[in-house]
Amino acid sequence: MSLFKTIRSHRLLIWALAAVVLVAVIAVLSPQQLPVTLYKLSLVCLAAVIGYHLDRALFPYASPGSYLVDNWKTVIGQSANNMDKLEPEYPVINGYQRIFAAVLLRRAIVVTAVILGVTLGL
């Protein structure tokens, strides 16, 4: 297995370890703030889930996956074959690249707005 494939399969492992270390640092330096920190983190996670589902409810026929050439759920095992080539894992239908980018930005904006709304409202 190549180094690239190993790193790709564990791409969030470093961030998860960093999060655990930071929570441990908070617990040692200021244990009274640990419940507040975990409460705020849980609210941000909940807001992200709500924002995602709000986007899906508001735009049911414009999901990012609908602009891909193949259904990514059925060809997920074949995406590793393209890693050595200079091709995208999941290509976008010709002529829809800008619409695909706009859909991705729309979803990011909706999720960000919900997260900001929840976090600023506290």
Ordered by start, the domain boundaries in the chain are 31-120
* Type of residue found at 62: A
pLDDT of residue 68: 85
User: Mean pLDDT of successive 10-residue segments in the chain (122 residues)?
Assistant: 60 87 94 92 94 94 86 66 69 89 95 95 73
Which tokens go with 47?
A: 């807001």
pTM, full prediction: 0.73
